[in-house]
Amino acid sequence: MNWLIAILQTILFVVLAPLLAGWIKCCKCRLQNRKAPSVFQPYRDLFKLTHKQPVVSEQASWLFIKAPYIIFSATVLAATVVPLIAVDLPTSASADVIVMVGFFAFARFFLALAGLDIGTAFGGMGSSREMTISSMAEPAMLMAIFTLTMTASTTNLSFAISHVLNEGLVLRPSFVFALSALVLVAIAETGRIPVDNPATHLELTMIHEAMILEYSGRHLALIEWASQLKLMLYGVLIANIFFPWGIAESFGIQALGYGLLVIIGKLALLAVFLAIAETLVAKMRLFRVQEFLSFAYLLGLLGMLSHIILEAAR
Amino acid sequence: MNIEQLDFYTQAILSMAALVGLTSFLMLGQGRLLRLIFVFAMQGFLLTLTTALAAYSLNNHHLYISAVLTLVLKVIFIPWMLRREVLRMNMHRDIEALKNNTAVMLGGASLMVFSYYVLHPIVQSSSVVMLNALAVSLSVVLLGMLLMISHRQAIAHVVGFMSIENGLFFAAIVATNGMPMVVELGVAFDVLVAAVLFGIFFLHIRTSIDSLDVDLLNKLHEVEK
């Protein structure tokens, strides 16, 4: 029964991810006085892409063709670790948050290799940029997550979330810092606006788009889907770690349905904030990104320090 | 004593203390004047929140007046005045090259450790929260001084001075659960008078050396070196 719900939750993750992307696009269009496409547009795009014939360069090796499948499945596996509608699931109890970061790193490794594989200038440039950014984003993210794990004294996400949930409303200075660090890292890692622009193919600025420039057809669909999934994963992490109220603690139909409604509400709200931020902020120069990420690292470190200094038991 | 066992007011005060400390560090590393002034206004806003929180939870009505005064003076009036000065001097596009920024930031961090070290003896006689809040406000005071030493623009000096005052104000609110009204009014008017005086100083510095960079004041030696 538990395994069934765990699988169901992963499927929900995969199915809902394009909807979140569509909703963000919709909010952005409204804010920029444009006519918004339907929220279901990403599904139509994915459907269209799967029906197109993929074109692969003659120089491409086997890696280029296998990479989309590896990336997609690694991201789906990462999604199984994160509690979406219920805590205490067998999949999220068997792997902890460091495994999730590992899955992300694994997917990113293959994405960068695939960018390099084809031998175009843009692919290599995108891969090098992506690796630079992630090498600075990963420590900041781990710092923010360690703050949580030190508070809950476990690295397991589902136990940590139920710890936060059972504690009731406690205002922790360290969580304020960890939340802001995690938000900054999420923006950098999912390639949103101050760091990377998901809607452009301007060669000077693109990072994620540069790596996947050569992909087409179902390969492109899988990679797009994986990046939408990653965006949703970060959203769920932020929503469920810091505002876990409403997540189901038992497996009754009512609790699960309520949990689903609450997480959809939280994600929709987060998406509105993201859209507002993307409308207000201009994309920063590539060489400013390290300042942005070292600020995120500083915030993570401060979260850890204030956990030790301000909240420690004496 | 763990943080879960404290009441909500104390938790909020601790969070505010952490955020006020963060704004001090942000000011220390800031090269652009307009952003410096913005962070200063943020710090003032955090102080306003703290005061309002204290007023609400201690049921102390005159603290609301103090909160409103803080809001008007430190979030609106002084930042507005400094901003106008920066825009008038056309300095808003300059980035002040901070000399050895890393050393200054590390110095700031060690000042914070130092203030914890200095205040540690009082933990025997009062609560843990008091220690943390007082240590943060002492380090805000010291960081304000460091800001005045490390920056060259006169406007940054004024911001540093005002943030010293912010640190003292935070300590006063947290430690005494609200000062008497007379004292608070006096402090508020002191700040106002200081702001006006600084305006006059700016005018004089500008007319004599045509800049607000205080390093240029060395030119005013009577004897040529």
Pick from B1, B2, B3, B110 the residue to mutate for testing the A interface (most A CBs within 10 Å): B3
When comparing pLDDT for B87 and B5, which is higher? B87
What pLDDT was estimated at residue B30?
82
Mean pLDDT of the residues in chain A: 90
Cβ pair B6, A312 in contact under 8 A: no
Q: Using an 8 Å Cβ cutoff, are A133 and A293 in contact?
A: yes
pLDDT of residue A67: 95
CB contact under 8 A, A171 and B15: yes
Residues belonging to chain B with any Cβ–Cβ distance to chain A shorter than 8 Å: 1-4, 8, 11-12, 14-15, 17-19, 22, 116, 123, 128, 132
pLDDT value for A72: 96
Backbone φ and ψ of A242, nearest 5°: -95, -25
* Contact list, B132 vs chain A (CB under 8 Å): 309-310
Amino acid at residue number A210: A
More confident residue, B126 or A120: A120
- Measured between beta carbons, the chain A residues lying within 8 angstroms of B98 are none
Predicted pLDDT at B2: 66
**Chain B CB within 8 Å of residue A167 CB:** yes
pLDDT at A249: 84
Q: What is the pLDDT of residues A134-154, one digit of tens each?
A: 999 999 999 999 998 888 888
**What pLDDT does B93 receive?**
75
Residues A154-198: tens digit of each pLDDT: 889 888 898 888 887 888 888 989 999 999 999 999 988 888 888
Q: Measured between CA atoms, how close is A172 to chain B, in angstroms?
A: 6
- Which of the four pLDDT bands, split at 50, 70 and 90, describes residue A39? very high
CB A143 within 8 A of CB A304: yes
Q: Minimal Cα–Cα distance from B148 to chain A, Å? A: 23
- A176 vs B17: CB contact, 8 Å cut-off? no
Q: Contact at 8 Å (CB) between A30 and A36?
A: yes
Over range B51-61, report the average pLDDT. Answer: 87
pLDDT of residue A313: 57
A233-256 mean pLDDT = 90
> What is the band of B85 on the pLDDT scale with cuts at 50, 70, 90?
confident
Q: Which of A171, A174, A314 sits opposite B1 (nearest CB)?
A: A314
Record: contact A172-B3, CB cut-off 8 A: yes
pLDDT at A12: 93
Give the tokens for residue B30: 């800031």
Residue of B nearest to A310 (CA): B132
> Is the interface score ipTM higher than 0.85?
no
Average pLDDT over chain B reads 84
How many beta-carbon contacts under 8 Å exist across A and B? 42
C-beta atoms of A173 and B19 within 8 A: yes
Label residues A279-289 b or e (16+ Cβ within 10 Å = b). eeeebeeeeeb
Closest CA to A83 of A263, A230, A227, A226: A263
- What mean pLDDT is predicted for residues A224-229? 95
pLDDT for B195 = 84
pLDDT, tens digit, 9 for 90 and up, residues B128-167? 777 788 888 999 999 999 998 888 888 888 899 999 999 9
**pLDDT tens digit string along B39-54?**
999 999 999 999 998 8
Q: What's at B70, amino acid-wise?
A: T
Residues A36-58 as b or e (16 or more Cβ within 10 Å = b): beebeebeebbeebeeeeeeeee
Minimum distance, in Å, between the CA of residue A173 and any CA atom of chain B: 4
- Closest Cα in chain A to B10: A171
For an interface test with A, give the residue of B15, B123, B129 to mutate (most A CBs within 10 A).
Answer: B15
The model's confidence at residue A314, banded by pLDDT at 50, 70 and 90, is low
Token pair 């859209």 is found at: A275
Task: Report the share of chain A in percent with pLDDT over 90.
Answer: 57
Tokens found for residue A218: 């179902």
Which residues make beta-bridge pairs with A108? none
A172/B8 touch (CB, cutoff 8 Å), yes or no:
no
Whether B213 has a pLDDT exceeding 60, the answer reads yes
> What are the C-alpha distances in Å from B119 to residues A236, A309, A312, B126?
41, 13, 17, 11
Secondary structure letter of residue B74 according to DSSP? I
- Which region among A110-114, A310-314, B58-62 has the lowest average model confidence (pLDDT)? A310-314
pLDDT of residue B124: 67
> pLDDT above 70 covers what percent of chain A?
99
Do the Cβ atoms of B38 and B27 come closer than 8 Å?
A: no
Q: Does A302 touch chain B (CB under 8 A)?
A: yes
Q: How far apart, in whole angstroms, are the C-alpha atoms of residue A269 and residue A184?
A: 17
CA gap B29, B108 in Å, rounded: 10
Look at residue B123 and tell me whether its pLDDT is greater than 70.
no
d(CA A222, CA A70): 10
C-alpha distance from A247 to closest chain B C-alpha (Å): 21
Only one residue has tokens 């990479």, namely A67
Q: Which residue of A164, A171, A307 to mutate against B (max B Cβ within 10 Å)?
A: A171
Instruction: Enter the DSSP assignment of A190.
Output: T
Of A167, A302, A314, the CB nearest to B128: A314
Q: Are A274 and A192 in contact (CB under 8 A)?
A: yes
User: How far is A194 from B187, CA to CA, in rounded Å?
Assistant: 41
Residue B225 confidence (pLDDT) above 60: no
- List, for residues B165-191, the tens digit of each pLDDT value: 999 989 888 887 767 778 888 888 888
